[in-house]
Structure 1
């Protein structure tokens, strides 16, 4: 793991965009990262519907379960400088 990229244990569910938002610290700067519900469920083979009751706790638990794999993928994108127009890293 690249020690210049750190992932604090912070994450939030954004219902509107159906993504989990989490930060990465790259050489002291915060980079916003997102993973879509579709990408998260494809990683895990879980089925969570966007209108499911208590979706936030389910997706956050799933994110926590697959966090290491997600962080590895985000780290690779950061190293490739694969940011969007706003400087974010997004896994769709």
Structure 2
């Protein structure tokens, strides 16, 4: 697990949540492509204002694609699109 280097100063200022990680290059049965996932953890997925504030910070970093937001709970119970699960994202903008 590594921190996303471009977000590190923002992490220190708590502008991107308290923790982040970037997917490794190791084979992953849950992955659907060669793209790598960047995970930004928020304290509470139901705090819409905080989730959107963090999304705005990602936009300031230049991320222009739609950003899905998946709860940690869904990950822990094994919900993944590659396994046939649908409508997993709590937010997708």
TM-score, normalised on structure 1? Answer: 0.30
TM-score (ref. length: structure 2): 0.30
Greater strand content: 1
